Structure 1
Amino acid sequence: MFRRTFWFTAGAAAGVWATTKVNRKLKQLTPESLAARGVDKAIEAGHRVKDFALDVRAGMLQREDELNDALGLTAGDGQDGARPDNVRALPAQRRLRAIEPHQNHRPKFSYNRNEDH
């Protein structure tokens, strides 16, 4: 009789345990739960990308300082943002020739593929 009671109790406990596990899994697979988990993962990935970008930016600034020091381009006179005398200003960026609004602009080259054939 003691054996039957033991196995009955063990079977009931295993059934309760298995039912609990199955119900937890089913709750994890509901659309709301999957959406919430997806949002959490996306936010986590966004934070990782942001941290990576900040690390890259810090590395770029550090390397830029190292290169400026190696080339002697640092402003050693204590003025922040001042350019040393031995560095020339970069030339202004070339501007494209503006087209007057009243002129008809036609491309120099024809874009018709069949014209040459």
Structure 2
Amino acid sequence: MFRRTFWFTTGVAAGVWATTKVNRKLKQLTPESLARTAGNKALEAGHRLKDRAVDFALDVRDNMAQREAELGDVLGLNAPVDPELPAPRRYAAIENRTEPKTYVIDSTSSTYKKNSYNRNEDH
């Protein structure tokens, strides 16, 4: 009699366990659950991709600064300036006027004439 009770209890426990496993798997395979899982995995992938992109951008910036320093050293741009040399000259691209522009208005007509032309003037 104990033998039958043992096997009956074992069968009931196995049935409950199997039923529970099947119900959990069925709940995982519903469309809502699949959509939620896919959305969560997409968010995780997006965060990983963003972190990698930020790391890549920082690496590029560091390597760019290092390479610019190397090129500056090779070309002599980072070398100290020799105090015996004169300062570099600056040439004006256009005429440098110190007085303000004046406009002459012709009293006989309704036109006016400019004294000078500056192409950098606001139009």
Q: Check whether TM > 0.5.
A: yes
Q: In structure 1, what is the equivalent of residue 3 of structure 2? A: 3
Q: State the number of aligned residues.
A: 76
TM-score, normalised with respect to structure 1:
0.61
Structure 1 residue 40 corresponds to structure 2 residue 61: no
After superposition, what is the alpha-carbon deviation per residue over 1:7-56, rounded to whole angstroms, capped at 9, x for unaligned? 00000000000000000000000000000001001111110110111011
Stretches of structure 1 that go unaligned for 5 or more consecutive residues are 77-117
CA change 1:16–1:68 in 2 (3 A) is same
CA distance in 2, matches of 1:70, 1:29: 58
- Over the aligned positions, Cα root-mean-square deviation in angstroms equals 1.8
Listed as ranges, the matches of 1:18-57 within 5 Å are 18-57=18-57
1:72 is paired with a residue of what secondary structure? Answer: helix
Q: In structure 1, what is the equivalent of residue 67 of structure 2? A: 67
Identical aligned residues as a percent: 61
Q: In structure 2, what is the equivalent of residue 13 of structure 1? A: 13
Q: After the TM superposition, list the runs of 4 or more consecutive aligned residues in structure 1 that deviate by more than 6 angstroms.
A: 73-76
CA distance in 2, matches of 1:45, 1:56: 16
2:16 counterpart letter in structure 1: V
CA change 1:66–1:2 in 2 (3 A) is same
CA distance in 2, matches of 1:49, 1:59: 15
Structure with the higher strand share, 1 or 2: 2
